[in-house]
Each structure stands twice: as structure tokens, then as C-alpha cells.
């Protein structure tokens, strides 16, 4: 039976992962400081005798080492994901993403855990110098970073690969996500647009010109992809014990398309007010589309289209409006 340690366990993606791991028979130690995570997301998990929740911060290296003793794999999903306002608190990405990843690795060394799954981001490619409309492959270079968030994730990836090459890890899996949608979603464009429409259904403010092109992936498909790779243990016999996978769909949509889907689903026709420019904020990449041939070669494929993911996310938000109040009080 797999014994997993999950950082950021009460977060959007991680809480879904915890439920999946428990359903598959694993035992799980969840680690979270609840700065943004929601205890309600762990209601199903806490009912399981194979789940243990530990309240702690990823900056507490010794505490993590003690909590992860007896585990055989770490899923490191805890991070600051506030890309838009990174320059308002530039040390947050360094501390919560880069330093935290170093602490996780050192805690693993201290407790003898030698397998790690790391949630990275497609943003590491920056504005990749590729042929227009071509999806970005894992082999693409990314020398120019456009956000502190992406830069901190690059640093985390580099630390993990160095630990693996230095003989400190047996398996390391780096997953570069597009934006994830689905149940327990509490951060991103669908969340923001729906909040606006609740407050003023007659008009909607859209950052940029609405023509930014983005790819999205449903959270259930994301987790199935991660577990597909971990089960196959693709890094175990590879020349380099670090394996990188893009996670996304073979499609992308404009922000305007997302808006249209949301408004049609809600039965609204708001006035659209654009802030202008080809991006929403400093660090926003106007085109994110990842090549997913490598993950598809494992036999995985997404089951949910972007449009379906948007609708599922919206329906969950409609049924769980409490998350808006919890975000305001956080």
C-alpha cells in the first residue's frame, strides 16, 4: 500500500488528489497551514482511517520531516499561486515556492523518502519563442521568465533535478500544468468572472482585450495523469531520474470564449468592459498551449473538454458560494 505525504492538502488540486489516493487504497498524511486551503475540502478524507491531517507550514523543515516519516512518496502541491499580484509581495514566491521546495527536499532526506511529485506550471516557458499556434513541448527552452511565480517554480524544478542527479532521489516527476478547472476551484478566471456576475450581472470587467488564448484541464483528468505516471514509474529506469510532463488538452480557447460559455450557462447578457492591451496583467502570458504527446504516450487522455470543464466549475461554484466568503475572510 502506498503511503503518501501531500503538501497543501486542503487546496483545490491537492484535496482532490487526497480523495483519489484514499479511494485507490493508499494511506495519506495531509500537510497544510490553511492559509488558503479549506477544511471543508477534506471532509471526505477525514472520515477515512487511512488519512491523517497535520497542520504545518512548508517553511517548518523539521516538522515536515517528522510528519512524513514512514511515507514512501511526497506529492508537493503547496505553493503561492498569486501570479497577478506577485510584485506586491515579491518575497512570497521565493519563500512559499522555492524555499519551501528546498525544505520539502531536505525533510525527505531526513526521513528517507526518495520519490517526489511536483506541481509546476506551463508558465515556466514564459512567452516561448515558438512557431505561432504550435503547442510548447517539454524540450522547449525557457530562458526568459515573465513572472515571479514562474521563476520560483523553475527554481523548484532545478532543485529537484539536482537532488535526483546527486543521488538523493530515486524518482522525481515534474508536472507542468495549464490552468486547472473543476470542483473546489477557488482561484482563476471562472472564479473571478462568476463573482463579478453575482455582484453586478449587467456588466463584466475583462482584463486585457479578451483575445488571450489559454488552455485548461479538468482536475479529475489532471489527477489521473499524475497517477498514471507514478504507477508506471517512468523515472525509475530512465537515464535521468527526473521526468517532466506537460499536462493539458489538445485545444485552447480565447478568454472571450470562456466568457461566452459562462454567460450562456447563467442565461446572462452583460455588457463586456475590457481594460485593453494584449494581456491581463504584468506576467500574464497571452498564449498558453502545451504539447501533451509525452503524457498521451502513457495511455492517458483527457475525458473533459475545456467547455465542459468551465461548466462543471461554474456549477460547483453556484452550489458552493461559501467559498467567496471564505476567500474574503482569509
CATH for 199:
3.90.25.10
- Is 35 within a domain? yes
CA distance 164 to 148: 24
Q: Quick check: is 310 in a domain? A: yes
In a domain, 235, yes or no: yes
Record the cell numbers describing residue 125, joined without a space. 516557458
Q: Is the pLDDT at 2 greater than 60, yes or no?
A: yes
In a domain, 293, yes or no: no
Same domain? 136 vs 104: yes
pLDDT in tens, 267-318: 999 999 999 998 888 878 888 899 999 999 999 999 999 999 999 999 999 9
- State the CATH number of the domain containing residue 75: 3.40.50.720
pLDDT at 300: 97
Whole-model pTM: value is 0.95
Indicate whether 89 and 69 sit together in one domain: yes
Mark whether 258 and 278 lie in a shared domain. Answer: yes
Query: Do 7 and 44 fall into the same domain?
Result: yes
**Alpha carbon of 220 to those of 11, 132, 133, 310: distances in Å?**
14, 29, 26, 13
Q: Are residues 70 and 191 in the same domain?
A: no
As for how many domains the chain has, the answer is 2
23 part of a folded domain: yes
**Which range marks the domain in which residue 146 is found?**
3-180+216-247
> CB pairs under 8 A, 24+ apart, for 85-90?
86/147, 86/148, 86/149, 86/283, 87/148, 87/282, 90/148
pLDDT of residue 29: 98
Shared-domain flag, residues 158 and 278: no
Q: Is 295 a domain residue?
A: no
Name the least confident of 19-28, 127-136, 188-197: 127-136
Give the Cα separation of 197 and 150 in Å (integer).
30
Which residues contact residue 214 at a Cβ distance below 8 angstroms, ignoring those fewer than 6 apart? 178, 179, 252, 253, 254, 255, 258, 287, 288, 289
Residue closest to 242 by CA, chosen among 299, 290, 176: 176
The answer on 314 and 173 residing in a single domain is: no
Q: Please report whether residue 294 resides in a domain.
A: no
Identify whether 220 is part of a domain. Answer: yes
Q: Tell me: the pLDDT tens digits for 50-84?
A: 999 999 999 999 999 999 999 999 999 999 877 77
DSSP β-ladder status, 253-254 and 213-214: antiparallel
Given a cut of 60, whether residue 329 has pLDDT beyond it is: no
Q: Is the confidence at residue 30, as pLDDT, over 90? A: yes
First to last CA, the chain: 36
Q: What would the grid cell of residue 90 be?
A: 515579491
Report the pLDDT value the prediction gives residue 132, as an integer from 0 to 100: 59
> Is residue 24 located within the same domain as residue 166?
yes
Amino acid at each position: 500500500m502506498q503511503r503518501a505525504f501531500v503538501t497543501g492538502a486542503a487546496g483545490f488540486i491537492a484535496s482532490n488528489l487526497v480523495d483519489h489516493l484514499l479511494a485507490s487504497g493508499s494511506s495519506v498524511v495531509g500537510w497544510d497551514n490553511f492559509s488558503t486551503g479549506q477544511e471543508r475540502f477534506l471532509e471526505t478524507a477525514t472520515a477515512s482511517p487511512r488519512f491523517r491531517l497535520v497542520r504545518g507550514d512548508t517553511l517548518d523543515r523539521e516538522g515536515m520531516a517528522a510528519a512524513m516519516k514512514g511515507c514512501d512518496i511526497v506529492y508537493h502541491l503547496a505553493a503561492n499561486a498569486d501570479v497577478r499580484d506577485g510584485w506586491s509581495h515579491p518575497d512570497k514566491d521565493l519563500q512559499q515556492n522555492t524555499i519551501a521546495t528546498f525544505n520539502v527536499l531536505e525533510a525527505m532526506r531526513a526521513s528517507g523518502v526518495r520519490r517526489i511529485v511536483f506541481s509546476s506550471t506551463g508558465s515556466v516557458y514564459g512567452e516561448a519563442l515558438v512557431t505561432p499556434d504550435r503547442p510548447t513541448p517539454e524540450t522547449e527552452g525557457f530562458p526568459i521568465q515573465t513572472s515571479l511565480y514562474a521563476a520560483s517554480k523553475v527554481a523548484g524544478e532545478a532543485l529537484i533535478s539536482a537532488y535526483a542527479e546527486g543521488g538523493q532521489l530515486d524518482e522525481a516527476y515534474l508536472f507542468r500544468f495549464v490552468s486547472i478547472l473543476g470542483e473546489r476551484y477557488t482561484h482563476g478566471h471562472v472564479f473571478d468572472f462568476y463573482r463579478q456576475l453575482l455582484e453586478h450581472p449587467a456588466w463584466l470587467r475583462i482584463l486585457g482585450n479578451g483575445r488571450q488564448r489559454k488552455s485548461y484541464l479538468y482536475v479529475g483528468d489532471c489527477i489521473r495523469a499524475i497517477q498514471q505516471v507514478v504507477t508506471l514509474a517512468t523515472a525509475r529506469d530512465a537515464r535521468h531520474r527526473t521526468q517532466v510532463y506537460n499536462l493539458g488538452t489538445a485545444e485552447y480557447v480565447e478568454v472571450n470564449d470562456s466568457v461566452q460559455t459562462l454567460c450562456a450557462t447563467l442565461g446572462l447578457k452583460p455588457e463586456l468592459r475590457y481594460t485593453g492591451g494584449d494581456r491581463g496583467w504584468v506576467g500574464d502570458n497571452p498564449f498558453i498551449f502545451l504539447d501533451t504527446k509525452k503524457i498521451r504516450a502513457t495511455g492517458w487522455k483527457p475525458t473533459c473538454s475545456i467547455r465542459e470543464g468551465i461548466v462543471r466549475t461554474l456549477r460547483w461554484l453556484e452550489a458552493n458560494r461559501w467559498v467567496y466568503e471564505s476567500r474574503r475572510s482569509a
